[in-house]
Amino acid sequence: MKNLEGKIVVVTGAGSGIGRALALQLAAQGAQLALCDVNETNLQKTVDIAAAHGVKVYSAVLDVSKREAFQTFADNVARALGNASVVINNAGVALSQNVEAMNRQDFEWVLNINFWGVVNGCEAFLPQLRQQKDAHIVNISSIFGIIGVPSQSAYNASKFAVKGFTEALRQELNGSNIHVTCVHPGGIKTNIARNARVHNDMFGKAADPKKLAADFDKLAATTAEEAARQIVRAIETNQKRLLIGKDAKALDAIQRLLPNHYDTVLGVGYKLMNKLAKR
C-alpha cells in the first residue's frame, strides 16, 4: 500500500505511546483516522492534535477486550468514514509477576487485552477490509513474543499468541487483497511500564512500580515516533515481519542461534541491566 493519503486507518490504543505517534504520522500523510482508547482524556488529546492536520477523525472510548463493543465500534467507523483499509491492533498492557504468585484475574486482564483485543479487532474489521482493493492488518506483538522472560509469563503468553495468530492469519489471507504484518518492538519509550500491574521483578523480588518504570525508561532505546515511522513504512511496503530496535534484532538473533540456551545468555544480560539500572 504505497499511498495512505485518504485511506481509512484504524488505530487502537491511540491515546498514548506508539498509538498516538501512529495517529499523528498518519494524519500528517492525509489518512482518515478511526481512533480508540480506554482513556477518554488521552484519546481526545490525540484526536485534537490529529484533526489539526485537516483530516477526518472518528473516535470512541473502547475496551478492546469487549468483543461486542469492538463490533459496534467497527460498525460506527463504517457509518462515519466508510470501510477501513488499514487496521492497526496496537492496544496493550503489561504485568510483572512470577507464575506461582500470579493472580488469575491479572493474568486474564493481560490476555483479554493483548490477545483477545487483537482477535476482536481482526474479526470486527475483516469484512470491511475485504471490500477494499488493497488492505492491511498490523498486529503488535513484542520481542517478548519471541523470547521468554522471568516475571513476564502472562505478557509472554499474550504476545506469543499474537505472533502465532498473526502468522496463521497471514497465510490464510495469502493471495487476497489483505496484507498482514506482525510487529515485534523491543524497548520503546512509552507509558506501558508506568501503567503496568507490577508485583515482582525478574529476580522474583518485590518491585517498586515507579522504580521499575524508571529503569525501563533508562533501557528503552527507541522512541514511539521512530517505532511508528517503521510501522507505517512496513504498511507501505507490505512487510510481513518487523523487528523494531537494535535490542529486538539482537535478542531475535540470539534466540535463533541458541534456541536451547538463549536463557543462559540472557541471564547474564539481566544481571548487567540490573547493574546499569541502579546507576
Catalytic residues: 155
Give the burial class of 138: count Cβ atoms within 10 A of its Cβ; 0-12 exposed, 13-18 middle, 19 or more buried: buried
Angle subtended by helix axes 116-130 and 153-172, to nearest 10:
20
H or E segment to which residue 243 belongs? strand 241-244
Task: Report in angstroms the alpha-carbon separations of 3 from 19, 148, 151, 224, 228.
Answer: 20, 37, 41, 22, 16
Cell numbers standing for residue 37: 482508547
CB atoms within 10 A of CB 23: 32
Cell numbers standing for residue 25: 504520522
H or E segment to which residue 138 belongs? strand 135-140
Give the burial class of 35: count Cβ atoms within 10 A of its Cβ; 0-12 exposed, 13-18 middle, 19 or more buried: buried
Cell numbers standing for residue 141: 506483538
